[in-house]
Chains A and B, each alone.
Chain A
């Protein structure tokens, strides 16, 4: 390696005025995007189960056909968490993206989580509970079976089209984070 990449540093608690006050993006899919429209509600909890109210979540996903970077589909979103540790994105359910050795990946959304106390962003993925493709997903297959549930968003019983995803930090039952 010729040059050492620049080290990561924490986003700190005071990023909002620069990154999310007028530069937030809650909607990943414009009105012209095809597919099933959903709301994706993310909630971040720390090691004591307390809401993390000073985090920033960025999402990156493929369109309903499983393609990234399409002209009619931005696929990127960025929101700060509120006092309850929550933020809600509007998007479409992603399609299946090509994976290693020709195996299709199950529909998923890629997540970067940044916050005070995180010296590097944490990377995870959101899968959709009940999707039959989850059984053959090559990335879920890398995760110990008893921890796969932490990567699933669940449909909200009271709000059709809304999926809830919890990110738990710093505990035995924490969300699976990926080394990428």
Chain B
């Protein structure tokens, strides 16, 4: 019989509720019945090892995936992936996707009338190193309109997808930019009730990460759920 150490559960308000009416698409998709509380078993505590093979250097440099350079403001996005006690999550897959500088996704169903950039795909992936650190070079994404409500605009953001060590640590989220006036108007970000938790999704400008005469640097640390303390640790 395997010894199972369950993961800690999120604090109230730190994660969004499925139904958040200002984000209209939640209304016909959010569960209407209560979720069934599932004490963690081996199925939730194990997790896939995915995407570790065949990661090319250009996968983490989105400015070098085509013959020419993409248009826009070149940036570096880096950070540490840690658990809720600050311990690094090493060798885990980080996948990102974003619009180009004009606010357009390279996606057949994005019909925002902004130009595509032949030199920018907007998808990247990397593994965290032994210290939980990842790093991407990309260009700053643009804001874009959507039809959620009159005059609705998504703030510039980068989508992040992470696995972590277990099925329960799977996280898909978005990174925002500091000082963006659209943050206060964005129902996607505002779906997170707790202000401190929302701030976790806003990257910080970092002059130490910034490379002279090359690219501005942003720091974006990601905190995944961690296991409950073992009796020994307590």
Within 8 A of B (CB), among A51-79: 52, 54, 58, 60, 62, 68-69, 74-76, 78
- Of B17, B38, B44, B107, which is within 8 A of A119 by CB? B17
Interface of B is mostly: loop
Given A18-B97, A117-B28, A118-B26, does the pair A179, B38 have CB atoms closer than 8 Å?
A: yes
Tell whether B184 is near chain A: CB-to-CB under 8 Å: no
The CA-CA distance from A100 to B181 in the complex, in Å, is: 49
Residues of A within 8 A of B4 (CB): 100
Given A2-B84, A6-B171, A110-B44, does the pair A118, B97 have CB atoms closer than 8 Å?
A: no
- Of B8, B25, B95, which is within 8 A of A18 by CB? B95
Scoring B36, B47, B96, B168 by chain A CB atoms within 10 A of each residue's CB, the highest score goes to B36
Interface of A is mostly: loop
The CA-CA distance from A99 to B39 in the complex, in Å, is: 10
- Residue in B closest to A16 when the chains form the complex, CB atoms: B107
Tell whether B210 is near chain A: CB-to-CB under 8 Å: no
Residues of A within 8 A of B78 (CB): none
Within the complex, what minimum Cβ distance (angstroms) separates A171 from chain B? 7
- Structural contact, B198 and A7, CB atoms closer than 8 A: yes
Residues of A within 8 A of B42 (CB): 68, 97-99
Within the complex, what minimum Cβ distance (angstroms) separates A49 from chain B? 11
- Structural contact, B173 and A15, CB atoms closer than 8 A: no
The CA-CA distance from A173 to B107 in the complex, in Å, is: 33
The CA-CA distance from A125 to B38 in the complex, in Å, is: 11
- Structural contact, B122 and A5, CB atoms closer than 8 A: no
Given A1-B11, A117-B26, does the pair A8, B38 have CB atoms closer than 8 Å?
A: no
- Structural contact, A178 and B122, CB atoms closer than 8 A: no
Tell whether B115 is near chain A: CB-to-CB under 8 Å: no
- How many residues of A sit at the interface, in one of the four size bands? 35 or more
- Residue in A closest to B176 when the chains form the complex, CB atoms: A9
- Structural contact, A170 and B122, CB atoms closer than 8 A: no
- Residue in B closest to A68 when the chains form the complex, CB atoms: B46
The CA-CA distance from A119 to B183 in the complex, in Å, is: 16
Within 8 A of B (CB), among A1-43: 1-19, 23, 25
Tell whether B30 is near chain A: CB-to-CB under 8 Å: yes
B interface list, Cβ under 8 A from A: 1-2, 4, 8, 10-11, 14-18, 20, 23, 25-33, 35-44, 46-51, 82-86, 95-97, 105-107, 109-110, 121-124, 159, 161, 167-168, 170-174, 188-189, 191-192, 194, 196-198, 200-201, 222-225
Q: A2-B85, A115-B29, A121-B172 are in contact. List 5 more A-B contacts (CB 8 A).
A: A5-B224, A9-B201, A78-B50, A119-B191, A179-B36
23 contacts between A and B (CB under 8 A): A3-B82, A5-B171, A6-B171, A7-B16, A11-B161, A17-B106, A18-B95, A46-B29, A47-B29, A98-B1, A110-B44, A112-B167, A115-B29, A117-B29, A118-B26, A118-B29, A119-B16, A119-B18, A119-B26, A119-B191, A172-B32, A178-B37, A179-B37
